[in-house]
Structure 1
Amino acid sequence: MLDVRRMQVLRAVVTSGSVTAAAAHLGYTPSAVSQQVAALERQAGIPLLERVGRGVRPTAAGRLLADHAAVISRDLAEAETALADLRAGRTGRLAVRYFATAGAALVAPALAGLRREHPGVRIDLRMTDPEDPLKEVEQGRADLALVIAPRTRPREDVELIHLLDDAYDAVLPAGHRLASRETIALVELAEEQWVGSEPPGPCLEPVLEACAAAGFSPDFVVQSEDYPTAQGFVAAGLGIGLMPRMGLGPGPGAETAAGTGAVATAVAGGRHPGVVVRPVRDPRPVRSVYAAVRKVSLGRPPVRALLEALRQGAAPIQAGPIQA
Structure 2
Amino acid sequence: MDPRLLETLRAVGTQGGVTAAAAALHLTPSAVSQQVAVLQRETGVALTERVGRGVRLTPAGEALADAALDVAVALERARAACDAFLVEPRGTVRVSAFASAAQLLFPRLLDRMPAGIEIECADEDVAQADFAGLTDRIDLVVAHRPDGAGTWGEHVRVEPLLREPLDVAVPRDHRLADQARVQPADLDGEAWISVREGFPVSTVLAAVAAASGTDPRIVHRINDFHVAAALVAAGHGISLLPRHSFGNAAGLRLLPLTGVRAGRRIDVLLRADRAERMAVRRVLDELRQVASEIAA
Q: Give a deviation string over 1:2-24, Cα, whole Å, max 9, x none.
A: xxxxxxxxxxxxxxxxxxxxxxx
Question: Aligned in 2, Cα 1:309/1:122: closer, same or farther, shift over 3 Å?
Answer: closer
Cα distance change on mapping 1:86 and 1:104 into 2, 3 Å: farther
1:314 counterpart = 2:294: no
Write out per-residue CA displacement over residues 234-256 of structure 1, whole angstroms, 9 at most, x where no aligned residue.
Answer: 222222211112441x42xxxxx
Paired position in structure 2 for 1:144: 140
Superposed CA offset, 1:195-224 (max 9, x none)? 22x232223222222332332321112333
The residue type paired with residue 283 of structure 1 is V
Q: How many residues align?
A: 212
Give TM-score, length-normalised by structure 2: 0.63
Task: Tell me if the contact between 2:152 and 2:158 (Cα under 8 Å) persists in the aligned partners.
Answer: no
309-318 or 186-195, larger mean C-alpha shift: 309-318
Q: Which amino acid is the alignment partner of residue 314 of structure 1?
A: A
Supply the distance in 1 between the matched residues of 2:80 and 2:267 (Cα, whole angstroms): 32
Q: Which runs of 5+ in 1 are unaligned?
A: 1-79, 252-270, 320-324
Residue 155 in 1 paired to residue 154 in 2?
A: yes
Amino acid at match of 1:306: V
Cα pair distance change 1:170/1:87, threshold 3 Å? farther
Q: Secondary structure at the match of 1:298?
A: helix
Q: Is the 8 A contact 1:148 1:203 kept in 2?
A: no
**Superposed counterparts of 1:189-208, under 5 Å:** 189-196=187-194, 198-200=195-197, 201-208=199-206
Q: Distance in 2 between matches of 1:313 and 1:194?
A: 32
Letter in 2 for 1:287: R
- Mapped to 2, the partners of 1:123 and 1:86 lie a distance apart of 20
Contact 2:167/2:257 (<8 A) preserved: yes
Q: Distance in 1 between matches of 2:292 and 2:196?
A: 26
AA in 2 matched with 1:199: R
Aligned partner of 1:278 in structure 2 is 255
- SS of residue paired to 1:199: coil
The equivalent of 2:116 in structure 1 is 120
SS of 2:276 mapped into structure 1: coil
4+ residue segments displaced more than 4 Å: 80-83
Q: State the TM-score, normalizing by the size of structure 1.
A: 0.58
- Check conservation: 1:245, 1:317, Cα contact below 8 A: no
Q: Which residue of 2 aligns with 1:134?
A: 132
What is the CA–CA distance in structure 2 between the aligned matches of 1:91 and 1:309, rounded to whole Å?
A: 15
CA, structure 1 residues 281+82, in 2 after alignment: closer, same or farther (shift >3 Å)?
A: closer
Partner of 1:176 in structure 2? 174
Match of 2:232 among 218, 231, 234: 234
Q: Which residue of 2 aligns with 1:111?
A: 110
Cross-structure match for 1:294: 271
How far the C-alpha of 1:309 sits from its partner, in A, is 2.0
Aligned sequence identity (%): 29
Return closer, same or farther for 1:177/1:304 CA change in 2, 3 Å cut-off.
same
For residues 136 and 83 of structure 1, the distance between their equivalents in structure 2, rounded to whole angstroms, comes to 27
> Mind listing any 5+ residue stretches in structure 2 that lack a counterpart?
1-77
Cα 1:236/1:210, change in 2 over 3 Å? same
**Counterpart Cα distance in 2 of 1:81 and 1:219:** 55
CA–CA separation in structure 2 for the residues paired with 1:111 and 1:124? 10
